[in-house]
Amino acid sequence: MKSNLHFFRLWNAVRQYKKRIVLAVAGMIGAAATEPMFPRILKPLIDKGFSGTPAFSLWMVPVSIVGIFLLRGICTFCTQYYLSWVANKLLSDLRGSMFGRILDVPISYYQNESSGRLINTTMYEVQQVVEMVKVSINTLVRDSLTVVALMLYLIYENWQLTLVAMFIIPAMAVVVKMTSKRLRKLNQHQLALNSELTQVVEEATRASQVIRIFGGQTYEKNRFHAKSEKLRGYAQRVTVASASTTPITQMVASLAVAIVVVIALSQATFPIHTRHTTAGDFVAFITAMMLLLAPLKRLSDLNGPLQRGLIAAESVFALIDTPAEPDTGIVLEGRAQGNLEFKGTVFTYPGQSVPALNNLNLSIAAGETIALVGMSGGGKTSLVNLVPRFYTPSAGTITLDGHELSDISLASLRAQIAMVGQNVVLFDDTIAANIAYGDPAPDQARIDAAVKAAHLTDMLADMPEGLQTMIGDNGMRLSGGQRQRLAIGRAIYKNAPILILDEATSALDSESERAVQAALDGLMEGRTTLVIAHRLSTIERADRIVVLTDGEISEIGTHASLLKKNGTYAHLYQLQFAGDNPAGVSL
């Protein structure tokens, strides 16, 4: 039932290109009409062309043959051209829908879906779907029309022998039905393994440095080989199940041809027609019958790509149908002031039972800098991820300038926020494009100001192409400190009223950190800033420090007041000051 729904859904998607489909079908009709013409020419040629004086001009034979194949060639070209246009347009539309949905799904979606599977669905499985549509239209329409045209001709020539030839069709239907179930199951496993293999390749390219440092080449090669061999095994099983229909149908067809020949040669004892059957009649009939085998074989072979396409369609439509982030609410007019307030905020990650944040109450004034500290798992990252609505609180509220975040549209809310994380994400583009990322009309003066503020001037001086330098995949052509400063430059360019810094200076050396920290101090001025940092320079200058323990605020105050209190913060401070900072302590 689900397969039928997917098939009809694809058909509805294709219907919008009906003008080109009509032209393709017209070509199919023309090509199908030429099929019985060739055996029709053979009949008078054999009966009258080789005995005595032909009743027709000899030039008519080559002209007719060339004309038939010229007409067929034109019709076939038109069919292939318009079907290819429809298939490529459908492929582009489906990929666009999937990629758009990938950008719109909630962040939590990526906790359950691997990037390899998403890449595989967007690039490979959708091709299986489109190929199924293309082959289905081409084979079902063209070959069905060809079969109908040839069958009508056979009936016209000799309906008794045609009854024997028609024995092929139900026999092929039985074979197709027997192989469909197995093909469907094998294709499900094959597509799943293809996703796993894509994931292995994606991880190997992303973690190339880790693999080399820890000597994981052999392990990754073995992992790839195991997946590849398993995929090859399933591919062979699919081939066996699909290809087995060919010899079976050929045997059935040969049996039908043999019976026709025997009956035709036994006219004296078993009359097959009301009139005398000539050699031309027999050759024309057998030729048409043999021409019938090719389209029948293609119709039987359609089962393989049809099953692969329907299985792939499940993944494609599952991705397209994934609910997008809830995005209802008002559009904030102008620039927000930046007043944030958490009231009884509770947040639990999907599938978890213990809250990451529990009954959090915190008011942050516009322009205030709040530093978040605590052991790993305390809730620092969870708190900052709630501000841009990457996640939604399980209970309680968060407000911006008196508006609940859930009442503000996502685009309007996120336009008020700039973020620099510890794991910098850059794009394989120019330095200028990365700084002005998201701006449809980049301002060169703002780019230059961001470059200066992020202390990127010296870096650009060493690059012949300057701002137009391509930085490679995720900035691989830059050092860690350069990548971090480029991300800071991007935040400076956005000039948003709310700033989130998650270990923003972690990849910088001492000299770079001093330069960038000065830029960050200027950037934070007048902006509401949430800082997660492990170095004391930012912490000490924060207006308030919030200590999070097991998702709750255990302490809050200035650096000096918390040291006097001699509580959790003072303990963490002493650990770091003593050079004995355990993993997971963020100050």
DSSP 470-488: B--GGGTTS-HHHHHHHHH
Whole-angstrom distance, CA of residue 43 vs CA of residue 153: 12
Q: How confident is the model at residue 278 (pLDDT cuts 50, 70, 90)?
A: low
pLDDT at residue 502 greater than cutoff 80? yes
Q: Identify the CA nearest to 78 among candidates 7, 128, 147, 30.
A: 30
In sequence order, what DSSP letters do the residues of 148-195 get, joined into one string?
HHHHHHHHHH-HHHHHHHTTHHHHHHHHHHHHHHHHHHHHHHHHHHHH
| Predicted local confidence at residue 47, as pLDDT | 61
Task: State the average pLDDT over residues 394-419.
Answer: 91
pLDDT at res. 126: 87
Average pLDDT over residues 468-496: 86
**190-217: average pLDDT:** 73
The set of long-range contacts for 472-478, using a CB threshold of 8 Å and a minimum separation of 24, is 472/428, 473/428, 474/424, 474/425, 474/426, 474/427, 474/428, 475/424, 475/426, 475/434, 478/426
pLDDT value, residue 553: 92
23-36 average pLDDT score:
84
Give 137: exposed, middle or buried? Use CB within 10 Å, 0-12, 13-18, 19+.
buried
Q: Is the pLDDT of residue 274 over 50?
A: no
Q: Average pLDDT, stretch 285-305?
A: 73
Q: From edge to edge, which strands make up the β-sheet containing 528-532?
A: 417-420, 498-502, 528-532, 369-373, 544-549, 552-557
Please compute the mean of the pLDDT values over residues 347-358 and round it to a whole number.
89
* Cα within 13 Å of Cα(75), Cβ side: 19
pLDDT band at 342 (very low <50, low <70, confident <90, very high): very high
pTM, 2 dp = 0.73
Residue type present at position 580: D
Distance CA 533, CA 537 (A): 9
- What are the DSSP calls for 515-536, one per residue? HHHHHHHHHHTTSEEEEE-SSH
Domains, the chain, in order of start with CATH, read 2-320 (1.20.1560.10), 365-381+411-577 (3.40.50.300)
